[in-house]
Amino acid sequence: MVDEGERAAPPRHGTLPMMHPVRGGVAMGKAYRVLFVSTFAFVVCFAVWLVFGVIGIPIRRELGLNATEFGLLTATPVLSGAALRLPLGIWTDRYGGRIVMTILLLAAAVPVWLVSYAGQLWQFLTVGLFLGAVGASFAVGTPYVARFFPANRRGFAMGFFGAGTSGAALNMFVAPAISVAWGWRAVPRAYAVALLVTAGVFWLLSAPDPGVGARRTPTLAEQLRVLRDPRVWKYCQYYSLAFGGFTALSLWMPQYFVGEYGLGIAAASALAASFSLPAGVLRALGGALSDRFGAHALTWWVLWVAWILLFLLSYPQTQLVVETIRGPVSFHIGLNVWMFAPLLFALGVVMAFGMASTFKYLGDDFPETLGVVTGIVGLAGGLGGFLLPILWGALLDLLGIRSSAFMLLYGIVWVSLILIYFTEVRRVDFHGRQASKES
């Protein structure tokens, strides 16, 4: 038996206490209410975060931007959203997700509204840096919702919350509709109002974090001690591909469909949603699969399927001339829009599972410091989402091949496969052989 003194023993120095499992109908009802309203807030934040992916197309025409400048325009909010994930993750561990998320929603409405008054590239970039703060909402909501669920349900909870990335697809339907009806400047104004309404709904329906105010506040040095763990950096690499690739493609695909297949903005955005929507909605399923089969198994297969899909998507439109005995014969090799869209859909599904499995790793390995680790790994994913559109724009200006975006991602998947093989697959196989010899 454990006496009462042992029950009341304080947590070890430098760690945050494990959350007690949520049990009982009332507690579970609160947990799911928090999960739903947090996911709703993240959907709105993600739609706002990627707004330049749609309104950037008419802005590009107005300002006469090249591909590199367009990439910089769309990626600038991603940079600040990535940079703020670490401090907001730290503040979430200290002060609780309810307070931090509400303040973030209220504060972000101001720069979003100001986008409608910008007229030069430097103004869009400056306001975009402040607008990008909404992208850091992920580092707030993930540890917040995880604390309401027991360990065997955290993968599902974090995956369900991560389904808020479906806000990228929402943006691709809402922003073109508003833009066509009232012009692109009406879009940021509507989004600013949506943030204010969301802040009110979130505050009313959310709940204080379990344990916040009753535990010792860790120092910054204690929170950042996790950076010494090499697993954190490995998960950063995984997430820079899964989430960074997803974010960058969500920004890049509308103009890709416009340029590659000559579609209008509304049609291009709708087809681009074939990538963004499954990557958001199916992330909860990815979390459940991670709970069932483990993060390693799911990540391993995700990388291999992504490798195959990106190989097919990388192939450029090619005109091949073959000299035959009857003279030259021309062949065209390339994906038309109806072949390209299903492959893009499949890639969205794969990336959804990859994002969920990465955070299953974090929930299993770092349950006591999930806020700061979420901030670090989320920062890496956000930086991937910032750098990729700029690199794609530079490659497009240099090579003139639009599918070079997928070529670059194909190389990044190779790096991830090599990393997971040497750090997990080979290590597991080695220990398995050792165990069998000893037995």
Q: What is the pTM of this model?
A: 0.72
Q: For the chain, what is the domain count?
A: 1
Q: Is residue 318 part of a domain?
A: yes
List the domain range (segments joined by +) for residue 285.
23-212+254-438
Q: Is residue 225 part of a domain?
A: no
d(CA 45, CA 227): 28
d(CA 304, CA 316): 21
Q: Which residues contact 294 (CB under 8 A, 6 or more apart)?
A: 360
Q: Is residue 267 part of a domain?
A: yes
- pLDDT tens digits for 66-75? 988 998 999 8
* pLDDT over 80 at 27, yes or no: no
- pLDDT tens digits for 355-408? 888 877 887 777 767 767 877 887 888 888 889 999 999 999 999 999 999 999
- pLDDT tens digits for 84-120? 888 887 788 788 889 999 999 999 999 999 999 998 9
Give the residue-averaged pLDDT of 195-208. Answer: 94
Q: Is residue 161 part of a domain?
A: yes
pLDDT attached to residue 374: 75
pLDDT attached to residue 22: 43
**Residues counted in the chain:** 439
How far CA 230 is from CA of 63, 221, 225, 236, 427, in Å, comes to 44, 17, 12, 10, 15
Supply the CATH number for residue 362's domain.
1.20.1250.20
d(CA 156, CA 359): 10
